[in-house]
Amino acid sequence: MKVAFVTPRYGPEVMGGAETAARQLAEHLVADCGAEVEVFSTCALDHVTWEDVLEPGDSELNGVTVHRFASDAGRNPDFYGLDGKLRLAPREATRRESQRWVELNGPVTNRLLAALSESDAQVAAFYPYLYYPSVKGIGHVPMPGVLHRPLTTSRHCTCRSSEARIPTPMPSATTPSRSVGWCSGSTPSPTGPRSSSGSGSRTRRATDGAAVRCSASASGPTWSVSAALTRTRDL
């Protein structure tokens, strides 16, 4: 199975809960589930300015292919005035103001999204929810999309018959038409049912019932994907 991760910052030098969860899960899927994983990210390390400091292009980090793109625009100084206005009366925000908020917040990454749309990945996972790549990308990719919301409670995934237990967050799936969850762990999830099928097989389900299943066997893990309609909000 091939999975694409979309996050505006990526790498061990990035301090951020969502970004760290993305990197840990991406590396785990490669090392312990035998998946092929690629990441679409920017050249930024600072989530305030989105300044490009890393080199654009392709690289590999712990088995994960990383595609970096220079941003078309970082955070616009006008963002703070609009943000302050909308925070005073968020329910009164118009659709245009909401879209403008996303554009000014940045990072604007049209080349990243164009490359993602040409990827042959079977699933795209977006982190975190409030930035341009996630808002603009999740409803416009050809593959199923997942808005992955890391939980504060750790879970454990054992996709192989190995004794290693690697903590992974549980996703929350939100996409206009379809979504998936991840291979499951060894503990029940409070946000959705967990099912088992035979030795070494686990399935973790998102709240809408969609799932990715990873079954361990002597020849290695096998994957199956199910898609389902989800409840969603227009952005």
**10-29 pLDDT tens trace:** 999 998 789 999 999 999 99
- Name the pTM for this structure: 0.67
Q: Kindly report each contact of residues 51-54 with a partner whose C-beta sits within 8 Å and lies 24 or more positions away, as own/partner.
A: 54/11
Spell out the residues 6+ positions from residue 206 whose beta carbon is closer than 8 angstroms to its own.
146, 171, 172, 173, 179, 180, 181, 192, 230
Distance CA 222, CA 232 (A): 30
Token pair recorded at residue 119: 């990827």
**214 Ramachandran zone, left/alpha/beta (phi>0; psi -120 to 50):** beta
Task: Residue 131: name the closest of 61, 169, 75 by CA.
Answer: 75
Decide if 84 is inside a domain: no
Alpha-carbon separation of residue 92 from 98, 101, 134 (angstroms): 10, 14, 23
Decide if 174 is inside a domain: yes
Q: Where are the alpha helices (DSSP H) in the chain?
A: 17-33, 79-88, 95-105, 110-117, 132-137
Decide if 121 is inside a domain: yes
Q: What is the pLDDT of residue 16?
A: 78
Q: What is the pLDDT of residue 150?
A: 58
The greatest distance separating any two alpha carbons of the chain, rounded to the nearest whole angstrom, comes to 58
Distance CA 167, CA 144 (A): 24
40-44, 99-103, 152-156: range with lowest mean pLDDT: 152-156
Report the half-sphere exposure of 98 (CA within 13 A, side-chain side): 12
Decide if 38 is inside a domain: yes
Q: Which domain holds residue 179?
A: 2-71+106-226
Q: What is the pLDDT of residue 139?
A: 87
Decide if 80 is inside a domain: no
Decide if 101 is inside a domain: no
Distance CA 220, CA 32 (A): 10
pLDDT in tens, 168-187: 333 333 333 333 333 333 23
Decide if 162 is inside a domain: yes
The structural domain count of the chain equals 1
Decide if 125 is inside a domain: yes
